[in-house]
Amino acid sequence: MKDRGAATIRDIAELAAVSCSTVSRALKGNTAISAATRLKVRRIARKLHYLPNQAAQMLIDRRLGAHRDATLISIIYESGISLNDNYFSMLIKSIVDESSRDGFATAVYALVSTYDGVLNLSRLLKSRFTAGLILIGNIDDRLIPMLARNCPNIVVVDKPSRSYTSVTNDNEGGAYEAVSYLIASGARRVGLIHGTANHYFTLSMQAGYHRALAQAGTPYDASLCVGGEFHISSGYSAMKRLLARRRSPDGIFSNDEMAVGAMRAIKEAGRAIPAEVAVFGFDNLVLSEIVEPHLSTVKVDYELMARTAVRILIDNLSKGKFIPQSVTIPVELRIRETTAKVVASRIGAY
């Protein structure tokens, strides 16, 4: 086996079934070579740890500057997201891992949602010759066209998009299934701790929640719904408010972090989980299996989301076409100790 850096253009040509001159031009980003061939050659070169002649490469760099073959996938998230956020940190890690497996480097940028902020980022992406963009978080749809001017190969992850390719979880379906399960397990006053107003995930939670209530013939009670900010302390505060109300809930649905905060408030109030208050989360974060009792939750497939988004970007790159499509990733329930078992007589209702 060759040592790293010992591979030659001839080695790459043999594996790619093309000529040495084609490999040379493909590695220089020559657009006379098809995008599919450039992509194939680049992948093989990376696998063989091919290193071009340093002196020759310096001449290429001077002549072509930053605009060589695109090898960078840029991950852009809204600046309001904390990278300590468990959900988004897991999602970003999955995208980075998947991109690396396909031979692409990654860069992560925070998007400041102002005209100047978007314009500056768009210019930066152009200078780095980005192969594709993956957008995550609640990024304003009106800002995306500015980014697309310099990089039209875009996938929006975990948020539906009307004009661009999107890869989303079935958030509404997961919320519907979770609330339906709480009702089927005996809860009669299911509360909802949702996120910030008009956030895409908040809207999905609310839609699934209302659909489950309607399906079960349970009247909607606005006093059982409060807003939060997707983190543990927010869930704790929201649950304290709910417990102080005359008709407090006997079931709670929220995302995992707020659900864990809600559990703390329930325990402090001296109420048993799930006998007096059942709790259902969303995301299947690691903490859902660490907290006591273990949290029932909706499992999100981060790896499949990442794999799908990266695969679409690379396929677009090889075809040279960017046709919008919508992909929904299925979710599934993980039933643990914070919810009662669904008894046989209620199976039909669920």
Any idea what DSSP says for residue 283?
A: B
Summarize the confidence of residues 97-126 as an average pLDDT.
83
How far is Cα 7 from Cα 51, in angstroms, rounded to an integer?
Answer: 7
Same fold, 72-169+302-330 and 171-299+334-346: yes
Q: Above 50 in pLDDT, residue 341?
A: yes
How far is Cα 71 from Cα 259, in angstroms, rounded to an integer?
Answer: 40
At 215-227, the pLDDT tens digits run 999 999 999 999 9
Amino acid at 45: A
260-263, Cβ contacts within 8 angstroms, sequence gap of 24 or more: 260/232, 260/235, 260/287, 260/288, 260/291, 260/295, 261/231, 261/232, 261/233, 261/234, 261/235, 261/236, 261/237, 262/193, 262/235, 262/236, 262/238, 263/291, 263/295, 263/338
Q: Above 50 in pLDDT, residue 146?
A: yes
Residue 201 near residue 299 (C-beta atoms within 8 A) = no
Superfamily classification of domain 72-169+302-330: Response regulator (3.40.50.2300)
Is cis: bond before 274, omega within 30 of 0? yes
At 168-181, the pLDDT tens digits run 999 999 999 999 99
Summarize the confidence of residues 125-150 as an average pLDDT.
83
> How many residues in the chain?
350
How far is Cα 136 from Cα 14, in angstroms, rounded to an integer?
Answer: 39
At 49-99, the pLDDT tens digits run 676 554 334 333 333 333 335 578 999 988 777 767 778 888 889 999 888
Q: Above 90 in pLDDT, residue 287?
A: yes
Percent of the chain with pLDDT over 70: 89
Q: How is residue 200 written in tokens?
A: 């895409």
At 7-48, the pLDDT tens digits run 788 888 889 898 887 887 787 767 778 888 888 888 888 788
Name the CATH architecture for the domain at 171-299+334-346: 3-Layer(aba) Sandwich (3.40)
Give the CA dihedral 308, 140, 317, 158, nearest 10 degrees.
0
Q: How many CA atoms lie within 13 A of 334 on its CB side?
A: 18
Domain 9-64, CATH 3.90.245.10 — does that match? no
| Residue spans of beta strands (DSSP E) within the chain | 72-78, 105-111, 132-136, 154-157, 165-169, 190-194, 225-227, 251-253, 278-280, 297-299, 326-329, 332-334
The per-residue pLDDT of the chain, averaged, comes to 85
Measured over the CA atoms of residue 257, residue 262, residue 267 and residue 271, the dihedral's sign is negative
Give the CA dihedral 189, 192, 197, 198, nearest 10 degrees.
-100
Summarize the confidence of residues 273-283 as an average pLDDT.
97
At 292-305, the pLDDT tens digits run 999 999 999 988 99
- Would you list the domain boundaries of the chain? 9-64, 72-169+302-330, 171-299+334-346
pLDDT of residue 125: 78
CB neighbour list of residue 5: distance below 8 Å, 6 or more residues apart: 49, 50, 51
Q: Above 70 in pLDDT, residue 262?
A: yes
Q: How is residue 253 written in tokens?
A: 């649905």
Is cis: bond before 219, omega within 30 of 0? no
How far is Cα 271 from Cα 143, in angstroms, rounded to an integer?
Answer: 47
Report helix, strand or coil for 279: strand
Any idea what DSSP says for residue 347?
A: T
Residue 205: pLDDT band by 50, 70, 90 thresholds? very high
